[in-house]
């Protein structure tokens, strides 16, 4: 069986498709989290985790931004794995071997 060879352009397209899907999906995930859990609870919880690594003023100031970035990163990673085996991935891969 031939091994598929992915070019740099193919990987860049894959990342761009995953980014586009993430930009559409992630705000809904953040909205659901915001509606189900109070924002003050998230801020307090995440700032307490950040105090371990940073000082208290930094942790309180940037806790929601870092939390949102973490959600975006998780969504992007999940999208990368899920699009690997879908029709989108078939369109992205340049050297896709067609099954006859």
Contacts of 66 (CB under 8 A, 6+ apart): 46, 50
14 to each of 27, 81, 88, how far by Cα in Å?
21, 10, 9
Residue 50 inside a domain? The answer is yes
pLDDT score for 84:
64
pLDDT score for 5:
62
Residue 100 inside a domain? The answer is no
Residue 97 inside a domain? The answer is no
* pLDDT tens readout for residues 33-75: 878 887 788 888 888 888 888 888 888 888 888 888 888 888 8
Residue 98 inside a domain? The answer is no
Residue of 97, 94, 84 lying closest to 21 (CA atoms):
84
Looking at the structure of the chain, the number of domains it has is 1
* pLDDT tens readout for residues 10-24: 777 777 877 887 888
- Separate counts of helices (H) and strands (E) for the chain: 4, 0
Structural domain that includes position 30? 8-92
Residue 99 inside a domain? The answer is no
Q: Please, which pLDDT band fits residue 1 given cuts at 50, 70 and 90?
A: low
């Amino acid at each position: 069986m031939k091994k598929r060879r992915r070019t740099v352009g193919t990987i860049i397209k894959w990342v761009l498709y995953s980014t586009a899907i993430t930009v559409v999906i992630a705000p809904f995930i953040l909205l659901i989290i915001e509606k189900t859990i109070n924002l003050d609870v998230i801020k307090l919880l995440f700032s307490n985790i950040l105090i371990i690594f940073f000082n208290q003023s930094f942790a309180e100031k940037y806790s929601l931004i870092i939390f949102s970035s973490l959600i975006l990163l998780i969504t992007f990673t999940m999208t990368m794995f899920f699009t690997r085996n879908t029709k989108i991935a078939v369109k992205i891969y340049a050297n896709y071997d067609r099954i006859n």
